[in-house]
Amino acid sequence: MKINFATSLLAVACLSASVLGYAQSPVRANIPFEFTIGQTVLPPGEYSISNVSDRVIELRNWEKRVTVMVPATATAYVNQKPHVLVFNVYGDRHFLHEVRGGLGEFNLDIRPSKLEKETQRLAAVHANQQNTEIALQKSH
């Protein structure tokens, strides 16, 4: 019984250290255009992206003093083009749609907001939806 408890405790400690190390290893992306997450419009610039928990990511632009926490859902396509941010583009509006992990360890989808759904509906009338990808770089 003591051995099982000690083994379990060791496993939890290793997982915690792994998660903390993972959460403290943000990646960077230079986003050259204004983009939207939820109802928030963010300016272009260099962003640090980190996985705060298994369902929340944080985007931070230190220069412009902007921080956004975003709920996200893990997906299964980790190996498809890792190291990018994927944006849905409708006309000249960019909406962050997916974060494909800094080292390919995670993929997170961001649910479309009401604003994106409305923009998507209007874009469907004009048939001009696209996707844009921005490369991620490991932070130093």
Q: Show the 3-state SS of the chain.
A: CHHHHHHHHHHHHHHHHHHHHHHCCCEEEEECCCEEECCEEECCEEEEEEEEECCEEEEEECCCCEEEEEECEECCCCCCCCCEEEEEEECCEEEEEEEECCCCCCEEECCCCHHHHHHHHHHHHHCCEEEEEEECEECC
Mean pLDDT of the chain: 75
Residue 76: per-residue pLDDT:
66
Q: Phi then psi for 79, rounded to 5 degrees?
A: -85, -5
Residue 34: per-residue pLDDT:
96
Give the amino acid at 32: P
**Residue (of 103, 36, 100) closest to 70 by Cα position:** 36
pLDDT band at 122 (very low <50, low <70, confident <90, very high): confident
Is 50 exceeded by the pLDDT of residue 33? yes
Residue 78: per-residue pLDDT:
56
Residue 32: per-residue pLDDT:
96
- Per-residue pLDDT tens over the stretch 1-23: 444 333 333 333 333 333 333 44
Two tokens at 25? Answer: 């290893």
Instruction: Provide the percentage of residues in the chain whose pLDDT is more than 90.
Output: 29
User: Which range among 10-14, 44-48, 105-109, 121-125 shows the weakest confidence by mean pLDDT?
Assistant: 10-14
pLDDT band at 58 (very low <50, low <70, confident <90, very high): very high
Radius of gyration of the chain (CA): 18
For 108, how many CA atoms within 13 A lie in the half-sphere containing its CB?
Answer: 21
Is 70 exceeded by the pLDDT of residue 103? no
Two tokens at 91? Answer: 């006309």
- Per-residue pLDDT tens over the stretch 65-92: 999 998 988 776 555 566 788 899 988 8
